[in-house]
Amino acid sequence: MNLNLKSKKNNTYDAIVVGSGISGGWAAKELCQKGLKVLLLERGKDIKHIEDYKSAMKAPWELEHANRITLETRAKFPVQTAEGNYPINEANQDFWLPEDTSPYISKKPFDWYRGAGVGGKSLLWGRMVFRWSDFDFEANAREGIAIDWPIRYKDIEPWYAYVEKFIGVTGSYDNISHMPDSVFQPAMGMNCVETSFQEKIKAKYGNDRIVTIGRVAHITKPTAEQTALGRSSCQYRNACSSGCPYGGYFSTQAATLPAAMKTGNLTLRPFSIVSKVLFNEKTQKADGVEVVDAITKEVTEYYAKVIFINASAMATTAIMLNSKSQRFPNGLGNDSGQLGKNLMDHHSRAGASASVEGFEDKYYSGRRANGIFMPRFRNIGNDKRDYLRGFDLQGGAGRAGWAKSLPGDLFGAELKEQAAQVGGWNINLGSFGECLPYEDNQLYLHATEKDQFGIPKIVFDAEIKENEHKMRIDMQNDAAELLEAAGYKNIKSYNKADFHLGLSKHEMGTARMGRDQKTSVLNANNQIWGCKNVFVTDGAAMTSSNCVNPSLTYMALTARACDFAVKEFKKRNL
């Protein structure tokens, strides 16, 4: 008995954070800096900043397979490599979780991309960060879709600013009402063709369609706080997915983890697969979590007064569904029956490209890890479409490289001369569209099939529907129209006919926030209804999806919820 008591004491912390990705890293940082002893659990391996970025400083030709994926790699990632050498390549393949390590079932096509270790997809994300406005938080209520968000812009605005100052956001002040400005570091510059495109669109459409530089979590003028963590400015290498030794872009490794470690309050435990939350029927709160060691498969329980589940949207919900008790027979917090439902992603792979004449004497410096951005302009103001919500456009202009086909009869000086010429200019605009929260788009746990750790497999049963298909027509046609308006040639529009959820890697919903526990899983403070010491602040919490990249909102929600949780913890309310 005494041994058991000692073991429990050794495994007890003030707080447990499940998952070390974008939101989990933030939860660990905030809770540690506010004085709590925190256990950070990560299902994957430890990936150390700089030390484990094995390919970060190598040029493609220095890699064994020139940064191309091999048949062996395709076998490890059969679904995730279906689109070719993106997003998985030779340089970053060790940062992705192989499919056999996390098997799932797709009742309808769904591609799940997961990070392989500490930092999760914060090492691999696109880094685009945008604030939401009340136009988005009020959309469900305004249109009678799903349920209303329990928060508004005023509730999260100070937390957006708090997060932005820490992570470093580069962008321009555009004064767009439905996409508020952030706290920016100096903007990255657009190249000559992009600037020309911006001017042409402004001349034709005025302020109805805005071309600006992307807003990304890259440092361009480091603050003292960022420098103290070992971070420096973006080096314009565009090798981000291989890991950034400079800490130029925001990741757990470069920012939140070292900040948490500095406090002396953090314990990091990789190879720790959380199978369920332990609910105490007597206290009506969670006691801790059950963990399966990824190497030994030994099962251990860890205990805490405060628990943040930030395993990524789909994994977080799976943990909750597997956390059954007398109080919650259908999964932790599932009084509403909504746990696992309302699955969202952005729909993409629609847009247009074109060739640009002129500017042959122009080039650009460096490899900017950013593109141009056009905020949503459909279903705003007097624009009314035959679908709800809208989309943004992301892309950029560049020159084709030197790797090109040349006539086979060339040789000598003529061959050298033509081979040394850089290609022409081209431009691409791709769309990200909002998906509505449909109750029948869902994930659930298989009744009998389990993974190698004895945990039920996730089943995905979700698809884009008529509203999104109608939107995709505009996503394709509007991109082509904009390029035509700019006078570009050889316009080719596209709309991936078999697009399916998961491809955009912006999974959201399935444990939504709301105003009533009869219709939602979380309250306005991201607490699970009926289990007030457990919080969810990753993509699972989203009540709608907007069309912009969602990670900034996850971070702001996390910082806000941590502030609330610590105050409640100190009042002994948790």
Domains of the chain by residue range? 190-214+348-434+468-498
Q: What pLDDT score was predicted for residue 84? A: 81
85 is written with which tokens? 């050498």
Distance CA 131, CA 288 (A): 33
d(CA 148, CA 139): 8
Residue 8 DSSP SS3: helix
Question: What pLDDT does residue 1 have?
Answer: 44
Pairwise CA distance, residues 275 & 430, whole Å: 38
Q: Please, is 113 exposed, middle or buried when counting C-beta atoms within 10 Å of its C-beta (0-12, 13-18, 19+)?
A: buried
Which H/E stretch holds residue 305?
Answer: strand 299-309
Q: What is the dihedral of CA 239, 241, 247, 250, to 10 degrees?
A: 130
**In three state form, how does the secondary structure of 257-303 look?**
HHHHHHCCCEEEECCEEEEEEEEECCCCEEEEEEEEECCCCCEEEEE
Whether 20 and 38 have beta carbons less than 8 Å apart is answered as no
Residue 411, pLDDT score = 76
Ordered alpha helix ranges (H), 17-145: 22-33, 71-76, 134-137, 139-143
CA distance 266 to 49: 16
CA-to-CA distance for 277 and 331, rounded, in angstroms?
A: 10
What Rg, from alpha-carbon coordinates, does the chain have?
24
d(CA 388, CA 374): 18
Smallest CA-to-CA distance from 87 within 117, 123, 53 is with: 123
pLDDT of residue 119: 98
Query: So what's the pLDDT on residue 271?
Result: 98
Residues forming a β-bridge with 105: 459
Splitting the chain (574 residues) into consecutive groups of 10 residues, what average pLDDT does each group show?
A: 68 98 98 98 98 94 91 90 87 93 94 96 97 98 98 98 98 96 98 98 96 98 98 96 97 98 98 98 98 97 98 98 98 98 98 96 92 98 96 95 67 76 92 98 98 97 98 98 98 96 97 98 98 98 98 98 98 94
Report CA 83 to chain centroid distance, whole Å. 19
Beta-bridged to residue 394, according to DSSP, are: 373, 430
